[in-house]
Amino acid sequence: MLEKMLDKNFFRSLSNRIRKDYVEHIFEKGKDVFGKSYKPYSKEYGEAKRGNKIKRQSGAFANKVTPVLTGDFMNDAKPNHTRNSASVKFAAHGGKVNHLAKMGRKVTDDRQPFPKGVINMIEREVKREVDSKFPKNKVVRIKIKK
């Protein structure tokens, strides 16, 4: 019964929502996966980025310390789902995740793959979906087979 509640359509929708909230937190608000603001850039790199002096640079992020230079990495964050899971994946620029982590800019971590706000949203959406499948004020018997 649970697999009918949380089906592929639910996980497709959830993965899109995860991607939206994740991109907003990591790239637009400029917070790492733990909710900390990113450290300032080195003086030389910061000046080049603020001055739009880097080839293919996205001007929208010139004055921010988010991990966005050209926009390729941010745009590579794709919603990913299966019949029983939802996530965000970096297909072409996944190597940048490790490089950023070495520089102290964690966009994900084994201990916490998503920011707390995204995790809370996932929990709310799963609870809402499960609650919507059970009728109100009715006893539901679930058989557990051995």
What pTM does this model have? 0.84
Q: Give domain status of residue 143, yes or no.
A: no
Q: Give domain status of residue 29, yes or no.
A: yes
Tell me if 107 sits within 8 A of 93, measured CB to CB: no
Q: With a cut of 80, say whether residue 135 has pLDDT above it.
A: no
Q: Determine which helix (DSSP H) or strand (DSSP E) holds 105, and give its type and residue range.
A: none
Q: How many domains does the chain have?
A: 1
Q: Give domain status of residue 139, yes or no.
A: no
**Domain around 34:** 2-131
Q: Give domain status of residue 67, yes or no.
A: yes
CA 120 to chain centre: 12
The pLDDT-based confidence of 133 (bands split at 50, 70, 90) is confident
The pLDDT-based confidence of 143 (bands split at 50, 70, 90) is confident
Q: Give domain status of residue 90, yes or no.
A: yes
Q: With a cut of 80, say whether residue 137 has pLDDT above it.
A: no
DSSP E strands in the chain: the ranges are 77-82, 85-90
**Who has greater pLDDT, 112 or 2?**
112
**Where would I find the H helices in 24-61?**
43-50
Q: Give domain status of residue 103, yes or no.
A: yes
Query: What pLDDT sits at residue 107?
Result: 94
The pLDDT-based confidence of 115 (bands split at 50, 70, 90) is very high
Tell me if 32 sits within 8 A of 26, measured CB to CB: yes
Q: With a cut of 90, say whether residue 139 has pLDDT above it.
A: no
Query: What pLDDT sits at residue 34?
Result: 97
Question: Tens digit of pLDDT for each residue in 35-90?
Answer: 999 988 889 988 888 888 888 988 888 888 888 888 899 999 999 999 999 999 99
Q: Give domain status of residue 136, yes or no.
A: no
Q: Give domain status of residue 25, yes or no.
A: yes
Residue whose structure tokens are 């450290």: 39
